[in-house]
Structure 1
Amino acid sequence: MAEFSDMKKFVEWLVPDENIKHIEAFVKGFKLSTSSYKRVMHLLNQEMNQGLMRHSQPLADIKMFPTFVRSLPDGSEKGDFLALDLGGTNFRVLLVRLQGHDIDIQSKTYLIPQRIMLGTGTQLFDHIADCIGKFVRDHNLSGQTLPLGFTFSFPCKQEGLAKARLSKWTKGFRCEGVVGEDICQLLQEALKRRTNCSVEIVAIVNDAVGTLMSAAHVDRNCEIGLILGTGCNACYMETLENVQTWDEEKSHPDQVIINTEWGAFGDNGCLDFLRTEYDRELDTFSINPGRQIMEKMIGGMYMGEIVRLVLERLNMEGLLFRSVDNECDLFERGRFYTKYVSEIESDTDDFYHNTKQVLDEIGVENYTTEDCKIVKYVCTLISARAAFLAAAGLATLINRINKTDITIAVDGSLYRFHPRFHNLMCLKIQELVKPGIKFKLALSHDGSGKGAALTAAVSLRLRNTKVIPDTLPAMSELPVRIGIKQKA
């Protein structure tokens, strides 16, 4: 299939003229004008300013949390570090060995059962500590003091480099006794309670910051981190004079990475002008109605459900799957996964192999080639809106930073696996940024995990050179080089 830079031509290629007029009545809300995206940018910039000002931040939807990460890697970082990457139904434990620009990573992924996601904070952190203990034993690291960088991908108010209080759970987590508590302290206590390991948490970041730090290790122009996965969030490097909520000494460097938490953009109703009936229905039946409005229009946790709602509506109107069984997954909430959207849009010919496979999997029978075209059309509209909204957010950050050459580090399953997300974002960003600004989107490999270790390494480097004030949390005089024996 040829690449289409013109979305209108792409749509016309997918769906014949005789059907598109009827279908358009039910999907036109996903096709937003450039002026609408510019309005999104204007509103986002206003909301970000509210989050940065001391008097308005407590009530702001976009919290703009200072992260206490004030310097990027410079390539001189050395040492061996543990990293913990927690942000969804799985988490990873990593051993990261740094030697300048050379990095060796060994990792293990662990599952968080739903009963723990919906249980207590003690159960959650005990489970994580058990897995860390097993990882340390399996890698013959027992008996050594290990610094740990912690990626925690939920909204937090950071009070120090290794102190962050959870503001609210997202992504399906509802563990009791955690909101308002210091995440690092809860994990440190669990490690002490459940293991014999000597592990000390040196730094806590979210996945966007980890992604930025990971890419900045090799690209000094990288000042924005973006997550496009289960959820959606971004961070960027801001000058301290614009951060009224900064309570620490404004010493060199005069900058700090801001965790925007822009998934909550629109919670106050400012994005209601572009929300569709499907967005509203999804929100109504979510576990957090009225919250994370922007994230619900972009994130992988929600995109498949929006597609399902549209397909269900088209079926009800007699425009799709005329003989479908009412007991198939199409009519069950949450059963049309976002991975299906990526698979469907990966079809490159008129045979629709992927689309047919998805329809078979969800129990649709007796579908036609015309049905396949319509399903793909719906997917392209919804994923394009998501890509363009993310692009509008990035263009807002790029214009704020206002440098001539900027790299955006991106990570997340949606960005990695969707066949057109990258290109769609680039097209829209180019349309929305100030003239003369060059940018590039760079996939951040092992972003959030490696970035957490790099954040820990940078914090130790700066502490050893007295750049970090003594008011930051103690790091127990951790050595820069732990001295783990390399495997042959």
Structure 2
Amino acid sequence: CVVVQLLGLGLCRMQSSLQPLCLSLETLRRVKDRMLEAMERGLSHRTHTQATVRMLPTFIRATPDGTGKGQAVGARALRQHSRAWSWQGGRLGSGRGATSALLIPSLAPQLFAFMATCLCEFLDGLRTRQTDFELGFSFPFSCRQTRLDQGYLISWTKGFKCPGVEGRDVVELLQSAINKQAVIAVVNDTTGTMMSCDASAGPCEVGLVVDAGTNSCFMAEARHVEVVEESDGRMGVVTEWGSFGDNGALNDVLSPYDHQVDQGSLNPGKQRFEKMIGGLYLGEIVRHILVELFSGHTTPALLTKGLVQTQDILEITDEQVGLATAQRVLRALGLEASDQDCFSMQQVCSAVCLRAAGLCAAGLAAILSHMCRNRELPCLKTSVAVDGALWAQHPRWWLRSSWLGPLAPECEVTLVQSDDGSGKGIAMVAAVASRLAAQRLQVNQTLALLQLSPDALGKVQALLRREMELGLKKETHAMSSVRMLPTYICATPDGSERGDFLALDLGGTNFRVLLVKVHSREQGGVQILSEVYSIPPNVAQGPGTQLFDHIVECIVDFQTKQGMMGHTLPLGFTFSFPCQQTSLDQVRGRGDRRC
């Protein structure tokens, strides 16, 4: 074993090496703005296919409201194990099956058969007489969803490389492995995190996962999710922001260490944002920084990929055990370090984690600002459910939540640690889907009396036509319920009309006087000057002569203001009440004669 002793890392050298990781607030604002732009491209039907931030719809239309009842089951595929949960009346139970025997890569039938076996073993352990359950499935990889219960895998991430799954419906694959179990929902782990929030704590419409990778989701206004047909209410959207920057949008933020980590990854050039935040990559970033700091004095262990673990980084940043852990890690790398070197190692780990936290805050601020703007709110108040080992184990992540203030000043946000988010959330998605289905059934049953069949509509059409014919005939006009009153208008405009006209419009509690100037298109087309006059209640309810005297006073006032006194113009009068016309310019009122 080659042992290299450090002589203490100089302050200037340390600052120079860590400078690429120091992101100012202004830089984070630029990252936020670029994320917003990328999100808009992902939501737009025109640019969705070229977007780096995919903004995938989940077809989840509501978050839990606290009324969930019954029993549901959730299953989740994880990197090193699979899990199953039961949800019954607010109580959550869970089980786990280790997948160490199912090494990656494996074939699709093996992967889903293993999950089905774990689920069956879990259900056997529930000791319940119930044989039918609603099942939610958390699948933490990029999927193109076409329904709540249908999702096609776009690509593997987080080290998974299982042949035969990409491009296929993962629900169908799991369904074929669970012959008797209906899967009613497939869920991304971020969605499960959002859905796990306690409804009594207020609205929680954002989910954030910071673990081996990173992702987020939120409840968007459905009308802005152009890739789906739904336009009413809200729609859950998974951002898939890990691929943000794959088009070069983060080139001025990426450090030399990020480029080295990317080149050594399974997917160079992909998931650039995730590779600066996810726990799967932070250890490698730290290792490359150490190689830079120890330039010329490295060891075989230090040059070996994967020997610096994210868990070690989290412990090194801890104020109590950090220096001792730093010494242990440095020695494992073949480095005999002084106290100063251990302190420098702690600074490196803190810088890497704080940059990741700042970038995560910028992305979250983009989501919050998007929600606030599209809902046309002066201030957005919501909770953000957070899950993942990095957040749970690294206290500095919580400190970075204070960055949301300057990055999204129009939002009031509460960060909530998710309680077994992916587990409870998966089951809650199934429960909410069941609740909404029951509500839809109840609404459909209530509205069934209002639904008319084609035969019924045909009968209405025939009856209306008969009444119209009775109203048009002189002999039967008086007995018709459809009056069919003549207007004595014998033609519609043909475009040759020219001149100035005075128009009166009486309807409701206001009265309008208009001067309409009709010219050719070349001369400016139609120009309208108007003024609104109120009709006092005593006039509206008084004798007819008083009403029309008031109308004349308004006309005189308008003519005076327009300099039209002494001019003679054709006059049209809109009178929005039932009238019996005897000619184009003569009517008799029907109903209350005083009005």
When normalised by structure 2's length, the TM-score is 0.70
Partners of 1:44 and 1:116 in 2: CA distance: 36
Partners of 1:216 and 1:270 in 2: CA distance: 36
Task: Give yes or no for the alignment of 1:26 onto 2:17.
Answer: yes
Kindly state the Cα deviation for residue 154 of structure 1 after the two structures are TM-superposed: 0.4
Question: In the superposition, relative to structure 1, how do residues 297 and 370 fare at CA in structure 2: closer, same or farther (>3 Å)?
Answer: same
Opposite residue 300 of structure 2, the aligned amino acid is E
Task: Give yes or no for the alignment of 1:262 onto 2:241.
Answer: yes
Task: Give yes or no for the alignment of 1:55 onto 2:46.
Answer: yes
Partners of 2:157 and 2:114 in 1: CA distance: 19
Q: How does 1:160-199 map to 2 (within 5 A)?
A: 160-192=147-179, 198-199=180-181
Among 347, 356, 361, which residue is 1:391 paired with? 361
Deviations for 1:82-107, whole angstroms, at most 9, x for unmatched residues? 11122322221112212xxxx22221
Q: Structure 2: where are the runs of 5+ without partners?
A: 1-7, 373-378, 445-595
> What's the counterpart of residue 212 of structure 1?
194
> What's the counterpart of residue 431 of structure 2?
457
Matched-pair contact (CA < 8 Å) for 1:52–1:244? yes
The CA RMSD over aligned residues, in Å, is 2.1
Partners of 1:176 and 1:301 in 2: CA distance: 22
Deviations for 1:140-175, whole angstroms, at most 9, x for unmatched residues? 347711211111110011111111111110001111
Partners of 1:459 and 1:119 in 2: CA distance: 32
Q: How does 1:117-196 map to 2 (within 5 A)?
A: 117-141=104-128, 144-192=131-179
Matched-pair contact (CA < 8 Å) for 2:291–2:303? yes
Deviations for 1:402-424, whole angstroms, at most 9, x for unmatched residues? 2432211100001001121111x
Deviations for 1:414-446, whole angstroms, at most 9, x for unmatched residues? 1001121111x21221221124x3211110101
> What's the counterpart of residue 83 of structure 1?
74
Secondary structure of the structure 2 residue equivalent to 1:356: helix
Larger RCO (CA within 8 A; separation ≥ 6): 1
Q: Structure 1: where are the runs of 5+ without partners?
A: 1-16, 193-197, 319-323, 471-488
Partners of 1:354 and 1:347 in 2: CA distance: 11
> What's the counterpart of residue 574 of structure 2?
none
Opposite residue 173 of structure 2, the aligned amino acid is L
Partners of 2:329 and 2:208 in 1: CA distance: 29
> What's the counterpart of residue 278 of structure 2?
299
Deviations for 1:373-400, whole angstroms, at most 9, x for unmatched residues? 1100101111000000000011111111
Question: In the superposition, relative to structure 1, how do residues 469 and 132 fare at CA in structure 2: closer, same or farther (>3 Å)?
Answer: farther
Number of matched residues?
432
Matched-pair contact (CA < 8 Å) for 1:136–1:142? no
Partners of 2:153 and 2:300 in 1: CA distance: 40
Deviations for 1:287-325, whole angstroms, at most 9, x for unmatched residues? 11111110000001111110111112211255xxxxx7x
> What's the counterpart of residue 483 of structure 2?
none
Among 197, 208, 211, which residue is 1:229 paired with? 211
Question: In the superposition, relative to structure 1, how do residues 398 and 55 fare at CA in structure 2: closer, same or farther (>3 Å)?
Answer: same
Question: In the superposition, relative to structure 1, how do residues 26 and 427 fare at CA in structure 2: closer, same or farther (>3 Å)?
Answer: same
Question: In the superposition, relative to structure 1, how do residues 58 and 310 fare at CA in structure 2: closer, same or farther (>3 Å)?
Answer: same
> What's the counterpart of residue 422 of structure 2?
448
Question: In the superposition, relative to structure 1, how do residues 66 and 366 fare at CA in structure 2: closer, same or farther (>3 Å)?
Answer: same
Q: How does 1:398-409 map to 2 (within 5 A)?
A: 398-402=368-372, 403-409=379-385
Task: Give yes or no for the alignment of 1:428 onto 2:403.
Answer: yes
Secondary structure of the structure 2 residue equivalent to 1:21: helix
Partners of 2:319 and 2:183 in 1: CA distance: 45
Matched-pair contact (CA < 8 Å) for 2:9–2:340? no
Kindly state the Cα deviation for residue 468 of structure 1 after the two structures are TM-superposed: 11
> What's the counterpart of residue 238 of structure 1?
220
Kindly state the Cα deviation for residue 341 of structure 1 after the two structures are TM-superposed: 1.0
Larger of the two Rg values belongs to structure:
2
Secondary structure of the structure 2 residue equivalent to 1:234: strand
Opposite residue 107 of structure 1, the aligned amino acid is S
> What's the counterpart of residue 8 of structure 1?
none
Kindly state the Cα deviation for residue 469 of structure 1 after the two structures are TM-superposed: 11
Matched-pair contact (CA < 8 Å) for 1:266–1:272? yes
Matched-pair contact (CA < 8 Å) for 1:72–1:216? no
Partners of 2:310 and 2:129 in 1: CA distance: 41
Question: In the superposition, relative to structure 1, how do residues 469 and 162 fare at CA in structure 2: closer, same or farther (>3 Å)?
Answer: farther
Opposite residue 146 of structure 1, the aligned amino acid is F
> What's the counterpart of residue 357 of structure 1?
328
Deviations for 1:251-285, whole angstroms, at most 9, x for unmatched residues? 4xx11111100001001111111111110111111
Question: In the superposition, relative to structure 1, how do residues 289 and 218 fare at CA in structure 2: closer, same or farther (>3 Å)?
Answer: farther
Partners of 1:380 and 1:317 in 2: CA distance: 24
Kindly state the Cα deviation for residue 241 of structure 1 after the two structures are TM-superposed: 1.6
Secondary structure of the structure 1 residue equivalent to 2:273: helix
Task: Give yes or no for the alignment of 1:201 onto 2:183.
Answer: yes
Question: In the superposition, relative to structure 1, how do residues 278 and 132 fare at CA in structure 2: closer, same or farther (>3 Å)?
Answer: same
Partners of 1:159 and 1:116 in 2: CA distance: 30
Opposite residue 126 of structure 1, the aligned amino acid is A
Partners of 1:18 and 1:303 in 2: CA distance: 21
Deviations for 1:212-266, whole angstroms, at most 9, x for unmatched residues? 0111533332111000101100001111121111124x34xx1111110000100
Opposite residue 456 of structure 1, the aligned amino acid is A
Q: What is the aligned-residue identity percentage?
A: 33
